[in-house]
Amino acid sequence: MSQQQQPSGRYSNISGGGGGGGGGPQAPGIPARYKYKYKAEEVREAYLSDKESGLASTLRAALQSLFSEPRLPDNPYYYLASTLAAHVDQSQLWTTPAVDLLAAYDVEGGLEPLYGDLQLCKIPNFNHCFGLPHVLRVVSREGASFLHEVLVHSLPECVFPPCHVTSNVVDGAEYAVQTLCSVQGPCALWNPQLLEFPEIEIRCDVLIRGSKLDEALRQFVGLVVADVRELNQIPVYFVDGVTIRDGPAAVPDPEKEPFRLRVPLEAVLNAGGSDFEKTATRLVLGGKVLTVHAVLLVEGSSDPADPDSRKLRYEMSRKTYILHYHSDPEARSTLTQPMTHFGCNPYDALYGGYFLDVSSARQYAVLYHGTDREPYHRDNLTKQMDFLRASIDVDLQHGDSLTAWHQLLLLVLLHDPTTVKVGPLVPESFPSLETLALKAPKMLGTEVGWLLSTLPNLLRIKNSAASVLEGIVREVEALAIAAARLPAKLAAVKVAAEAAGPAPTPNTGDSRRTVRTPDVSRAMSVWLAAFGLEGRLLSQLLGLKDRILAATGSGTGLFAGISLMVQRLVSELPPEVPSLAPAAAAALAAAQPRATLLRHLLHAAALTVAHGFVTRCADVKWALYYLRIPVANSADLPALHTIAAAGGGVGALEEGGAAPPPATWVLDVGVLRGTQVRSGALAERVSTEGVMLQYAVDTKLDELLATIWMVMTEPPLPVNPYPRLLQLLRTQATKLELWNEEPEEALGSYLVNELTLLRPPSFIYAAHLPPAASRHRSGNGGGAGQQLSRQRGGGVAGGGGSGGGGANVDDSEDDESDQLVGYGCYAAVSCVDVQALHALRTALGVVLADRHWQSGAYQGEVVPALVGDVAISNALRLDHDGLGAHGG
């Protein structure tokens, strides 16, 4: 056939014909390829390709993951939506090449070893960050510098005290107390170029040397109470309470709830906190630690892109106190006389964070060096890895996915053989982060190399949209705590000011950062009124509007449903900050319910995206498998086997580690294939393909692909197509839950009754089943109600807004359907299922029976009717038990 005679289609083949082909001769210089007939088709194909959105390959991978499951779910659209949820985050962070991302973390000039015996390092030409090299590899110099400025120079001294030693004498015995504070958690790895200011997380290791342990415990708890009281006395800071929880030495158990005892501020400070001190002393002796939760006013960055920008803002903070005790005030910890560490493992402050001064870092490392050898000794490394594995497992199962990813990043860094090793460290020991992550698979040639290659994606997850949303949630929570405690604090300041009498200026004491006043003067009250705390809190809340809308989109953002609700709640916040303090306080109180709902919605979105990275990042999923960490969602477990097998050389999961899929996964492919093969009906490959094909047709996945093509390629083409795709998947999931067939067909066949107006101009109609519905019901036999109802739905059937027909029921179902009548107004009976109405009347008996009576000159009559949602429930076939046919 000539080129002019070729059939028209989507593509025109311009390649030369083969041995059996009939194509014309190929022009010289024209490659064998397809030519698009229309320019629009070329644009659509390019948009779906990996060069642009990558939607085609991503959807293909999600479908492959679905069909690789041993049992297929009854509703595949929920599975696909969960698999693709993490792809909603298509920010620049995920499109930036790994080389550029790692360059933002790489320390210029490597790391500088300080003490070879302690394996401590520092960032070159920077004197405010000291720790172990595996942590410092991913520490931002700008972030550490900013945290040093805030913690050391901007906040009260009780928040981040220096490592000075204080002595006191009790009953003739001397006790020496020293605090070693360090930066921990995601706060330690904060990069100002990628995220807003983080939650402040501080660890305070309290060293107490003295003769009696009981007195040391009392002084430890007293130190915590004193810090809480001092911070609470400052009007612009708000302490929320103290949590007593398991220390790092307690390995988390996924089968048990972690121990947490939350003590409110009032209980800590009430009557000197005697009850709290007794409880805390007993629990600390059992290995627990104390965490103080507070809201601090910090001068943070107003724009991640501009580190020099500053603004006052309220942020959440956590400060954890851990006790170390030695009975000799002068001696060091030795093998013969070791120091007792309550609730912690050796060097764990250095395994998860760093110190801001070299003196604290060295003194902390010396605590363990005499008894536990080097930080990276095999015994210490094993304890830390076991703790991180267990913590990741528990956090994933309890929904704290972002914390789990942070700990996974640290666990992966601990597998670096060039850094994590015993013996003195030298500058040549630290290859660049780029070399470590991108060249490790070829350089090391083992599973460890593949494990280290996950570092780019782990850094992306740490700074992803989930972290942005969680940062907004944390900031809204801080404002809610401050707003709740502000009235009581202002009232206390006012009472103290009136009791103290007039004073020219407040006495600020001898500390450069802490207000130390036994009484609060009237000038302090005047200063607070001028400072305008209510207006500042409301201003910060309203300033989050743009960030919230940017994070969730304008109706087509993260999830369409959540975006619409978020927009509604944001629009209900006050438009501006009132100028007068009473009006600002009233507006702040009125905004709190909406702020609480916003916090819950955004937190749900953040958790959904954060946990979706298990599916989105195949290398991270493989890392979880390699590290023997089962994911929380049992649906992911079979995929881990496949990915691990592709990684090569990885052993099987531990016995009992792979749980069976949940019961909602209804189609067991293996059992069905085995039955057909054993019976000789089909070959194994044909049987498997037949099961998959029938499943795709039954769930209308074939129609979904055509719908996705039309919807996703309809102009204008969004830069990020995944929010629209998720909205489409969730719509399909809901439709599959409710309907066996298309809603239009069901409406045309079963919902609209035949109506007859009775006694015009009255508005009462008689409703009969339509002929199509009668035929369908009679054709299904005695189980008609069962055939008409989906097994998914809930609710009971019935009629509404009308009474049942009074005809007798004979043996003919056709006659029964013709004689059933419902009565009511047009709106009530047009969609009512009169057959279900008759069955309901039969089942309820006298409850729906008419009643007439006469007493003297008075006549009484009761006419029962059904109203509300039950009027159309069975017409929509939401009944579960077929009540319309059997009267069950």
pLDDT at 884: 36
Q: How far apart are CA 571 and CA 652, in angstroms?
A: 53
What gap in Å lies between CA 529 and CA 527, rounded to an integer? 5
Least confidently predicted of 320-334, 443-457, 764-778, 817-831: 764-778
Estimate the crossing angle of helix 701-712 against helix 684-698, to 10 degrees.
60
Give the model confidence (pLDDT) of 268-293 as tens digits: 988 655 789 999 999 999 999 999 99
Cβ-based neighbour number of residue 875 at 10 Å = 26
pTM, 2 dp:
0.71
The span from the CA of 884 to the CA of 882, in Å, is 5
Instruction: Give the model confidence (pLDDT) of 226-267 as tens digits.
Output: 999 999 988 899 999 999 999 998 888 877 888 999 999 999
* Residues contacting residue 269 through CB under 8 Å, at least 6 positions apart: 225, 228, 229, 232
Write b or e for each residue in 502-527: b if 16 or more Cβ atoms lie within 10 A of its Cβ, otherwise e.
Answer: eeeebeeeeeebbbebeebbbbbbee
**In this structure, what is the dihedral angle of CA atoms 622, 626, 629, 633, given to the nearest 10 degrees?**
30
- Count helices and strands (H / E) in the chain: 39, 21
Query: Who has greater pLDDT, 42 or 873?
Result: 42
User: pLDDT confidence of 38, banded at 50, 70, 90?
Assistant: low
In this structure, what is the dihedral angle of CA atoms 474, 476, 480, 481, given to the nearest 10 degrees? Answer: 20
Q: What are phi and psi of 319, to 5 degrees?
A: -130, 115
Q: Taking residues 514-537, report their average pLDDT.
A: 67
Tell me if 100 sits within 8 A of 467, measured CB to CB. Answer: no
pLDDT greater at residue 401 or residue 34 = 401
| pLDDT tens profile 532-574 | 888 899 999 999 998 888 887 655 555 666 777 888 899 999 9
Q: Which residue, chain included where needed, has tokens 């070729």? A: 6
Model pLDDT for residues 146-160, shown as the tens digit of each residue: 999 999 999 999 999
Q: What percent of the chain has pLDDT over 90?
A: 27
- 3-class SS letters over 472-498: HHHHHHHHHHHHHHHHHHHHHHHHHHH
How high is the pLDDT of residue 681?
53
Q: What's the token pair of residue 328?
A: 């000799």
Strand partners, 572: none
- Sign, CA dihedral 209-213-215-219, equals positive
Distance CA 412, CA 407 (A): 9
- Cα–Cα distance for residue pair 325/829, rounded to 1 Å: 80
- Looking at residue 61, its amino acid is A
The pLDDT of residue 812: 42
What is the Cα–Cα distance from 110 to 98, expressed in whole angstroms?
Answer: 19
Strand 173-184 relative to strand 754-757, pairing: unpaired
Residue whose token pair is 């995920």:
94
Q: What is the CA radius of gyration of the chain?
A: 35
- What average pLDDT is seen over the chain? 76
pLDDT band at 692 (very low <50, low <70, confident <90, very high): confident
Name the more confident of 207 and 657: 207
Distance in angstroms (rounded) separating the CA atoms of residues 478 and 181: 23
**CA torsion angle for 125, 128, 134, 138 (degrees, to 10)?**
-80
What's the length of the chain?
A: 888
CA pair distance 70, 76, nearest whole angstrom: 14
Q: What is the DSSP letter of 68?
A: T
| C-alpha span between 505 and 471 (Å, rounded) | 38
Q: To the nearest 5 percent, what fractions of the chain are helix, strand and coil?
A: 50, 15, 35
For the stretch 49-108, pLDDT in tens is 877 778 888 888 888 878 877 777 878 888 888 778 777 776 777 778 888 888 888 776
Per-residue pLDDT band at 502 (split at 50, 70, 90): low
* Helices 560-571 and 581-616, axial angle in degrees (round to 10): 170
C-beta neighbour count of 189 within 10 angstroms: 27
CA distance linking residue 329 with residue 169, whole number of Å = 12
Q: Which residues pair with 326 in a beta bridge?
A: 209
Lowest mean per-residue pLDDT among 177-191, 224-238, 626-640: 626-640
Cα 718 to chain centroid, rounded: 25
